[in-house]
Amino acid sequence: MREEILSIPAVTARFLDASRDALASAGAKLREKNPPFLASIARGSSDHVCAFLKYSSELTAGVPVASLGPSVASIYGVTLKLGSAATLSISQSGKSPDIVSMTKAASDSGALTIAITNVINSDLANASDFPIDILAGPERSVAATKSFVSSAVAGLALIGHWTEDKKLLAAIDALPAALAKAIDCDWSPFARALKDENSLFVLGRGPSLAISNEVALKFKETSAVHAESYSSAEVMHGPKAIVGKGFPVLVLAARDAAEDSIVEAADRLAEQGAAVFLTSTKPSKATALPFVATSHPLTDPLALLVSFYAFVESFARSRGLNPDEPPHLRKVTETL
CATH code of the domain containing 134 = 3.40.50.10490
Contact 136, 146 (CB under 8 A): yes
Look at residue 324 and tell me if it is in a domain.
Answer: no
118, 122, 116: which is closest to 97 by C-alpha?
122
Question: How much is the mean pLDDT over the chain?
Answer: 95
Averaged pLDDT for residues 134-157: 94
232 and 307 assigned to the same domain: yes
The interaxial angle of helices 44-60 and 207-223, nearest 10 deg, is: 170
208 and 273 co-located in one domain: yes
Q: Taking residues 213-221, what's their average pLDDT?
A: 96
CA 63 – CA 89 distance, rounded (Å):
17
Is pLDDT at 326 greater than 90 in this prediction? no
pLDDT value at position 318? 94
Residues 203 and 105 in one domain: no
Give the per-residue pLDDT at 333: 60
Shared domain check, 114 and 5: yes
Between CA 294 and CA 167 the distance in angstroms is 12
The Cα 302–Cα 286 span in angstroms is: 22
- What value does the mean pLDDT take over residues 1-8? 96
- pLDDT for res 237: 84
**Tally of residues, the chain:** 336
pLDDT above 70 for 329: no
pLDDT at 260 over 90: yes
DSSP state letters, 242-311: G--TT-EEEE---SSTTHHHHHHHHHHHHHTT-EEEESSS--SSSEE------SSTTTHHHHHHHHHHHH
Q: Which residue, 10, 70, 19, is CA-closest to 46?
A: 70
| Residue 154 confidence class, pLDDT cut points 50, 70, 90 | very high
Task: Please determine, for residue 196, whether its predicted confidence score (pLDDT) is greater than 80.
Answer: yes
The reply to whether 26 and 91 lie within a common domain is yes
For residues 152 and 196, state if they share a domain: no
Q: Is residue 193 part of a domain?
A: yes
Whole domain around residue 10: which residue ranges?
1-164
How buried is 289 (Cβ within 10 angstroms: 0-12 exposed, 13-18 middle, 19+ buried)?
Answer: buried
Q: How confident is the model at residue 197 (pLDDT cuts 50, 70, 90)?
A: confident
Query: What mean pLDDT do residues 256-281 have?
Result: 97
What is the total count of domains within the chain?
Answer: 2
Flag whether pLDDT at 335 surpasses 70. Answer: no
* CA gap 127, 115 in Å, rounded: 9
3-state secondary structure of 114: strand
In-domain check, residue 334: no
Q: What are the angstrom distances between the C-alpha of 255 and each of 102, 149, 189?
A: 36, 19, 22
Kindly report, residue by residue over 219-240, the tens digit of the pLDDT: 999 999 999 999 999 998 888 8
